[in-house]
Amino acid sequence: MDVLYIALGDTDPQSAVRWWVCEDSDISASGTGSLIDVESEASERAKDSARLDTVVLLPDREILYIEVEIPGRSQARVRQAAPFAVEPHLTEEIDDVHIALGDVKQRGLVPCMVINKLRFEEYLSVLEEAAIQPSVVTTPGMLFDASDSLYLIELGSGVTIRTPDQLAVVSEDVLVPTLLTTVSAVDGGAKVTCVGNETLLTTTRKAISQLDDDDIEINLVSFESLLTGVGEPSDLLNLQQGSYATRDSGVMIRQMLNKTAVLAGVCVVIVSVIFVAQGIWADLQADKLRDEALDIYEAVYNTRDVSGNPVFRMQERLGARVNEQSKWLSLLESVVGATADVEIQNLDFNESQNKMGIQFFADSYQEFEAIRARIENLGMNVEVNVAEQQANRVWARVTLSTP
């Protein structure tokens, strides 16, 4: 099936969007225009408008991409346990986010996309206003398999850095130091694929030249080439899962039309019996699912008491477990004492993985780099998830760990 790709920059319905039509592994049409006119314009320029499948690309900065180990053999059990496995990686409440799950990988890890529910619903509302019903909603960073290359994608504001198990969006001001840190962590000869223009390629080559490593391969491809290599859109990690999954409303109508008048009375009786049986069965299933969920919860948190937020309770217990010489306490003192202009929004400590997520505002990119340098001097590993300009400050989300 031919595919229409639409790249949304934000939730403003008046903003221009970019679009491409991919037919027979080739871009047959593309353009920029109003979202409400995209499908009609693409259909006019496509060879077979009746076969267009729509894929909407949200900005990479809107999601957190992680791979986590989730207990459970069936897809239903994995989905039930996903919030408990993902929550330690978040800097916001688990009830405020939507989690989309991929297929379990060979290492037993499950790819997850996490997005704020309100933001996701704002994007869906914009699409609904434009009468667009996508079959897949994902991001540019999810269009390919990053197992054999480190990808840099330039599409809109910021540059996406995609590794096999992580994704981060950084501004051009901090691209070079972030790229050097990421490439240095790769064992063996790294392969870097730049998706964008010659400027991105030149910046990447200058940065890599500082490593003095001749085994690093650098390639440049266009974003259009990336789209033609996607294959089947149904194979992409889709945000439209769970309560946001698309449904075929015509199925029920077709079933109702197939009913005959002769069997109408019998059907009413059968349906009534089914509703009674279903109510009893639903109660039994609810008890069973509650017990299974508590089993999973107890395996993760060592308790069946689910009152309150487990992450906050863990943080409360943490104060009694770390001593005054802890690196984490030194770290907090370093960040908070760096300058009076640092505003820490949230801290999230993962005790089992010995990692901490920090979300804060810095006065400038220079101040952000100074803070990162302070933390690294303490012997910590710093993973930059997001670092972008917001108004007159720099908003950042980083994950810290000990070697």
Q: Does pLDDT of 393 surpass 90?
A: no
Model's pTM, two decimal places? 0.62
CA distance 55 to 8: 11
User: Exposure string (b/e) for 163-181, b if CB count within 10 Å is 16 or more?
Assistant: beebbbbbbebbbbbbbeb
Q: Tell me the CATH number of domain 1-243, given options 3.30.420.380, 3.40.80.10, 3.40.50.2300, 3.40.50.1370.
A: 3.30.420.380
Q: Does pLDDT of 315 surpass 60?
A: no
Q: Does pLDDT of 389 surpass 90?
A: no
More confident call, 300 vs 56: 56
CATH numeric code, 313-401: 3.30.1360.100
Q: What are 120-134's pLDDT values in tens digits? A: 999 999 999 999 999
More confident call, 263 vs 226: 226
User: Which of the four pLDDT bands, split at 50, 70 and 90, describes residue 312?
Assistant: very low
Q: What are 29-40's pLDDT values in tens digits? A: 899 988 988 888
Count Cβ atoms below 10 Å from residue 230 Cβ, excluding itself. Answer: 19
Percent of the chain with pLDDT over 90: 23
Q: What are 141-190's pLDDT values in tens digits? A: 999 888 888 899 988 778 999 988 888 898 888 888 888 888 887 766 78
pLDDT of 142 reads 92
CA dihedral 108, 113, 117, 120 (to 10 degrees): -150
* Average predicted confidence (pLDDT) for the chain: 80
pLDDT of 232 reads 86
CA distance 165 to 160: 13
pLDDT of 319 reads 47
pLDDT of 332 reads 67
User: Exposure string (b/e) for 285-322, b if CB count within 10 Å is 16 or more?
Assistant: eeeeeeeebeebbeeebeeeeeeeebbeebeeeeeeee
Q: Does pLDDT of 322 surpass 80?
A: no
User: Which of the four pLDDT bands, split at 50, 70 and 90, describes residue 300?
Assistant: low
Task: List Cβ neighbours of 371 (8 Å cut-off, separation of 6 or more).
Answer: 334, 335, 338, 342, 362
Q: What are 8-31's pLDDT values in tens digits? A: 988 888 888 999 998 878 888 899
Beta-ladder partners of 18: 7, 32
pLDDT of 240 reads 94
pLDDT of 112 reads 92
Q: What are 230-282's pLDDT values in tens digits? A: 888 888 999 999 889 875 434 333 434 444 454 566 666 777 677 777 777 77
Inter-axis angle of helices 75-86 and 264-301, nearest 10? 40
